[in-house]
Amino acid sequence: MINIGIVVQRYGSDVIGGAETLARNVAERLLRQGFRVTVFTTCAKDYLTWRNEYPAGESILKGVRIKRFPVTRERDIKKFNSFSEEFFPAAAAGRDETKWFAEQGPFCPDLIQELAAAQKGIDLFFFFTYLYYPTVEGIKAVSKPVILFPTAHDEPPIHLRAMGEVFRRPQALFFLTRAEMDLVSRLFAPPGRMRLVRTGLDIHPDVDDKPFRRRYLLIAPYLLYAGRIEKGKGLEEVYKYYSALKNEAYVDLVLIGKKLMDIPASQGLKYLGYVSESDKLAAFKGAVCSLQPSPLESLSITTLESFSVQTPVLVNRRCPALLEHVTASSGGLAYDNEEEFLAGFRQLYRRPGLRKRMGAKGLEYVRSYYSWDAVLAEIKKGIDEILAE
């Protein structure tokens, strides 16, 4: 039996985050395929503070063995952001990258020591997300073969000197989009195999949105944003564009997800909080279109979820991964400014036939490229190639 070690900064059924959800899905599905899987992670649940909330030690979740280690330094996100604002503009030669990664966290030296000690019983490690301390230091600590899911986009940390080893050490890199793979290839020319693996999605095309709309009193047509409500997600622009949009259409803007920034008080703007998975899919189903305004995404699972219930997506053109999704699928439109945002909305709002055709194209795209059977076949092929060497 092949022993797989999975390293990720947070792990749990109640952990919210794209890379963390991907790690959990891969761990559980590899286990069902006959692999022995051990997850190495921290006790943190919240990615802003890295506060220890899970108990340290071993546990089991859906058959997957988990080994958790305490974070020794909580993060004050305001102080860290101020530090980063000074750090990145500074000359590269004068920057202490080790300090930045320790401050970025989750700082967990015991986890790194355990990786070095436990690797005797591991045939191959998966690391998820290039950005955090467990990956940057963990990759150095192990001598066994490594596969990295970078979940990368073009942001300041990817240009740090330390990233050379992070991206060149693995025997293989698995990517979620072609845009992500092209970025890493251009920046690092990694010697390891590069494979476009994507991720899997459970498809529920027959979702009924009517009970959801009744429960939340959604009478008017609406645009939907689903995801973390925080700075850096492009929402400030959306609020501005929505103010202009209200002058020409009776339409609400509905937000669902964890609120990490203030939401302006505006008629028609409705924050529903964190909702269940079934309500989230129903929210997508009932929308005129969903919005993905973030300029920095390596995948955007919410875009794929919207496609899966045949709802078109209006995306930020400045994000290569999002532009790839709507271009390859013909399941949505892209904007770069207020005029393009309003024009895209008008097309989808006023032309229900176009909206229906785009929705069908989005579903076809997800079924063709984001089924778990196809993704697992690619992952297993990559594992076999590395272990055969």
Q: Is the pLDDT of residue 18 over 90?
A: no
Closest CA to 10 of 43, 58, 59, 38: 43
pLDDT tier for residue 29 given thresholds of 50, 70 and 90 = very high
Q: What is the pLDDT of residues 92-144, one digit of tens each?
A: 777 899 999 999 999 999 999 999 999 999 999 999 999 999 999 999 999 99
Q: pLDDT at position 201, please?
A: 92
Helix or strand run (H / E) with residue 118: helix 109-118
Rounded distance, CA 178 to CA 286, Å?
30
Q: What is the pLDDT of residues 321-368, one digit of tens each?
A: 999 999 999 999 999 999 999 999 999 999 999 999 999 999 999 999
Q: pLDDT at position 16, please?
A: 83
Q: What is the dihedral sign for C-alpha 12, 14, 19, 25?
A: positive
pLDDT tier for residue 11 given thresholds of 50, 70 and 90 = very high
pLDDT tier for residue 202 given thresholds of 50, 70 and 90 = confident
Structural domains of the chain, ranges and CATH numbers in brackets: 3-200+371-387 (3.40.50.2000), 210-369 (3.40.50.2000)
Q: Which tokens hold the place of 225?
A: 């944003």
Q: Is the pLDDT of residue 318 over 80?
A: yes
pLDDT tier for residue 389 given thresholds of 50, 70 and 90 = confident
Q: What is the pLDDT of residues 76-85, one digit of tens each?
A: 999 999 999 9
Share of the chain above pLDDT 90, in %: 90
Q: What is the dihedral sign for C-alpha 350, 353, 357, 360?
A: positive
